[in-house]
Copies of this chain bind each other. A is one copy, B any other.
């Protein structure tokens, strides 16, 4: 593994286990078995490490299938993967607003990404309605569902850590279930059957 990757992996581990402010660049260098000078040759400061980790996570998201999910079980499956990736970088969501308040560059990128993700969710939901998978029988259901999916995506792991002291990937399954339950009242009877069949299968 090259030094840059070692630094990133070490920082990710320390950030996830504690918090970003407790893990100084000196701590990260020591845990990575390199000198502080060597770390600073690769990364100007901790913010640069955090930004690079965010970019890594972003790249993992873009590796997800580009095509829109065409069924309820597809949509749930995509969110399973999203929550898994977010779990890997859980320090980021745990400290989200704090990290963004300290780094205007990261904040701009993240807000752009969030807006793009919201537009994508709305487009997917419209497609699912068009396919007869969903039925938005109340006003503003589309806006409501987009907000709730984004809220769960971004804050589920933080919420789980508040409810109990556990910090385990089991919580991912529960987050995926909550997304499914949010969609359920708006699924058509055939989509509900399809989802139940997939889960049995």
Q: Which residue of B lies closest to A164 (CB)?
A: B111
The 8 Å CB contact of A101, one of B19, B102, B141, B154, is B19
CB A111 to nearest CB in B, in angstroms, measures 6
CB A4 to nearest CB in B, in angstroms, measures 26
Q: Is the Cβ of A144 less than 8 Å from the Cβ of B97?
A: no
Q: Is A182 an interface residue (CB 8 A)?
A: yes
Extra inter-chain contacts (14) besides given A97-B158, A155-B155, CB under 8 Å: A19-B101, A94-B98, A96-B162, A97-B162, A110-B162, A111-B162, A111-B164, A114-B163, A144-B181, A148-B182, A150-B159, A151-B159, A154-B155, A155-B158
CB A45 to nearest CB in B, in angstroms, measures 15
Q: Which residues on B sit within 8 Å (CB–CB) of A161? A: 97
Q: Which residues on B sit within 8 Å (CB–CB) of A138? A: 181, 184
Q: Is A87 an interface residue (CB 8 A)?
A: no
A residues neighboring B (CB under 8 Å):
18-19, 21-22, 94-98, 100-102, 110-111, 114-115, 118, 138, 140-141, 144, 147-148, 150-152, 154-156, 158-159, 161-165, 178, 181-182, 184-185
CB A93 to nearest CB in B, in angstroms, measures 8
Q: Which residues on B sit within 8 Å (CB–CB) of A154? A: 155, 159, 162
Would you mind naming 24 contact pairs between A and B with Cβ atoms under 8 Å apart? A19-B98, A19-B101, A21-B102, A22-B101, A97-B162, A98-B98, A111-B162, A111-B164, A114-B162, A118-B163, A144-B178, A147-B159, A147-B178, A148-B182, A150-B159, A150-B163, A151-B151, A151-B152, A151-B159, A154-B155, A154-B159, A154-B162, A155-B159, A182-B182
